[in-house]
Structure formats: C-alpha cells, structure tokens
Amino acid sequence: WLSAFTSLAFWKSMATGRGKWLVAYGTVAVVGMYTHYYMWFIIAAHGLAWLVLYRRSFWQYLMVFGTLILAQVPWIPTIMSQVSTVKQSYWIGQIGIRTHWEWFVRISGGDSEQPQRMFVVWMLLLLLLASPILIKWRYKKTPRAYVFLWVWLLVPVLIPTILSFVYRPVFF
C-alpha cells in the first residue's frame, strides 16, 4: 500500500503542482524506505518518471529526493551489513526468468491456489501486452499517465534484476 500511495501522491504532485502532494509523497516515501528496501526502486522509478515526463519544479523535487537520501543516512551501516551478509551466503537464489514469472503470478493472481488464478494471470498478461497497441490506436500521443504506469511497473523490477548480477538479491 505504501508503494501505491507514494505513487499516487507523486503523480498528483506532478499533475497538479501542489505542494501538499509533494509533502505527502516525501512523508510516506520515508516510511516506506524504512519499512522495506524495495521502496528505493519505487522511488527510483518516480525519479525516472519525473525526468522523462516533467522536469519542472526542479528545486522542489531535488529537495524532496535529497531529503529522502538524507533520511537514509542513519540506516546506511545496517544496510551495508545486511548486503555483505547476504553476499556471503543466503537462501535466496539468483533472479531469473522464473523469478519474474513467479512474481507476476503472485502479484496478479495472489498467493493462494484458486481454480481461476491462472486464468486471471493470463488475462492480465494479455491485457498488459496488448495495451501499447491499444493506446497507440486510441491516442495520437501516448498519455503521460500511461508512461508513468509502465515506468512504475518496470523500473522497480529491472533495477534489482541488474543488481542481482553483482549482489545476492536481498532487494527482490
């Protein structure tokens, strides 16, 4: 929920330019970063979306992202300790195609085995794969919200995958 709320607040701050959404974003993002490492990748996606879509209010966003980084400074020794422990030996294996497929099945179909689970998974996958074609057919210019959604969906998966080539995937 923290990921969804930070993404909503970030989108609202970009779309409306209102400072209250930026404050809400910063506050919930800090809570999310202290709750789970994966939030860093969500925030990286937000930063990339801002660079691609808006690039306005530079100082405001620089201040928010800088505050998020500063909020993590006390946590850096713990992070480095955990990463070095995981690098030595850990029960999580390398990230690969199977890992991504299992992640997608859990996110789209849930954790419990239900008769309709795989039907839902395959339908969502079909809709995701067809959506770029449908968007291009419907709109002359790709909507910013659609680009934001794809950045939010892909970047947090790609960054840990790339990092897993160097480190054990404590992040995924």
Residue 56 is classified by DSSP as -
Helix H or strand E encompassing 76: helix 76-88
* Tokens describing residue 164: 């897993």
Q: How many angstroms separate the CA atoms of 87 and 65, rounded?
A: 28
Cα separation, 114 vs 109, in Å, equals 9
Q: Can you give the pLDDT at residue 80?
A: 77
Q: Which of 66, 61, 69 is nearest to 17 (CA)?
A: 61
- 36 compared with 6, residue with greater pLDDT: 6
What is d(CA 49, CA 51) in angstroms, rounded to the nearest whole number? Answer: 5
* Separation CA 110–CA 104 (nearest Å): 9
Single out the residue of 52, 74, 63 nearest to residue 144, CA to CA.
Answer: 52
| Predicted confidence (pLDDT) per residue in 79-100, tens digit | 777 767 665 555 556 677 777 7
Give pLDDT tens digits for 53-88: 877 777 888 888 888 889 888 888 887 777 676 655
In the chain, the percentage of residues whose pLDDT exceeds 70 is 89
Cα–Cα separations (whole angstroms), residue 84 to 78, 169, 172 = 10, 12, 16
Residue with tokens 């993404």: 7
Length of the chain, in residues: 172
Higher-confidence residue: 37 or 172?
Answer: 37
Contact between 47 and 39 under an 8 Å Cβ cutoff? The reply is: no
Structure tokens at 22: 């930026």
3-state DSSP helix/strand/coil percent for the chain, to nearest 5? 75, 0, 25
Sign of the C-alpha dihedral computed for residues 149, 153, 156 and 159 taken in this order: negative
- pLDDT confidence bin for 126, thresholds 50/70/90: very high
pLDDT value at 172 more than 50: no
Going by pLDDT thresholds of 50, 70 and 90, the confidence category of residue 150 is confident
Question: How far apart, in Å, are the Cα atoms of 111 and each of 96, 105, 108?
Answer: 19, 8, 9
